[in-house]
Amino acid sequence: MIKRVVLFLVTNLAVIFVLNITMRLLGIDTLLAESGGGLNLNALLVFAAVIGFGGAFISLAMSKWSAKMMTGAKVIDSPRSEAEQWLVQTEHRQARQAGIGNPEVAIYNAPEVNAFATGMNKNNALVAVSTGLLNSMSRDEAEAVLGHEVTHVANGDMVTLALIQGVVNTFVIFLSRIIGNIVDKTVFKTERGHGPAFWITSIIAELVLGILASIIVMWFSRRREFRADVGGAALAGREKMIAALQRLKQAHTPSQLPDQIKAFGISGGQGWGIKRLFMSHPPLDERIEALRAQR
């Protein structure tokens, strides 16, 4: 049910890289150097925020287009079958219940049982389901999946994710430059300007801090899955939502979504220890138990 996180994360990293290079080519990075070769922290923070939030929101703006391109999802403009008619009517009914505009409804060809929602505006979003889901799930189960995705849209999860990603991007860029400057000045004794050690250390620090920052983003992603399950239960019924999650567990098919979108799919994986910190979805057993525990 979520096809959003890896698409967003990878696109975001690519955009940050392009913006970073662009800022350097334009000479904006020279604002960060004082005459003594130190860092102007105010200018650095502005620089980091422009790149960090710029990358996050450009990725968000591209999310619908990217998802369609990467999955081959076809929007249902005019239903050609009873199944497509049911899909559109169900999704539009749930959108009205959730108080949002009707998202585009699409189908993408894949054997996996999965679905996703994306878009930067809750009144102009996209909800797509796989052919595998349509072929494997009952109408009640598919209705719950749609409710889960509509809830993601109604909750504004993509915008919130963009804000969180923008904040962590900003601090990663900001702290990596500070670390690079410290190493350059104290270890390699560069007196004026920045030596090669500054750029090499900054790049390494950015990679390491980026990995740590992704733990924060993944934690939020797991929290929103629980909330979307609750929303799906409210729109379609708790037993239907539980049945849908159980069907996903039974299907147990590896996600065929592109790596850039895998975290936006409804299904998820299993993980323990350190691996769990980088999971975009909680284990299905935990999601089922959370719904059963509701009163």
Q: What is the pLDDT of residues 235-261, one digit of tens each?
A: 999 999 999 999 998 886 656 666 555
Phi-psi region of 72 (alpha: psi -120 to 50; beta: other; left: phi over 0): left
Q: Would you tell me how many other CB atoms lie within 10 Å of the CB of residue 93?
A: 15
User: Is residue 11 classed exposed, middle or buried when 0-12, 13-18 and 19+ CB atoms within 10 A define those classes?
Assistant: buried
Say which residues have a Cβ less than 8 Å from residue 124's Cβ, sequence separation at least 6: 101, 103
For residue 226, the model assigns a pLDDT of 95
Q: Tell me the C-alpha distance between 211 and 215, whole Å.
A: 7
**Stated pTM of the model:** 0.81
In the set 112, 149, 206, 225, the catalytic residue is 149
**For 268-287, how does the pLDDT look when each residue is reduced to its tens digit (9 = 90+)?**
655 566 778 888 889 999 99
> 239 an active-site residue?
no
Do residues 126 and 119 lie in contact, with contact meaning Cβ atoms separated by under 8 Å?
Answer: yes
Tell me the one-letter amino acid at 239.
E
Residue 177 parent element (H or E): helix 157-182
Give the residue ranges of the chain where pLDDT is below 50: 1-4, 31, 34-36
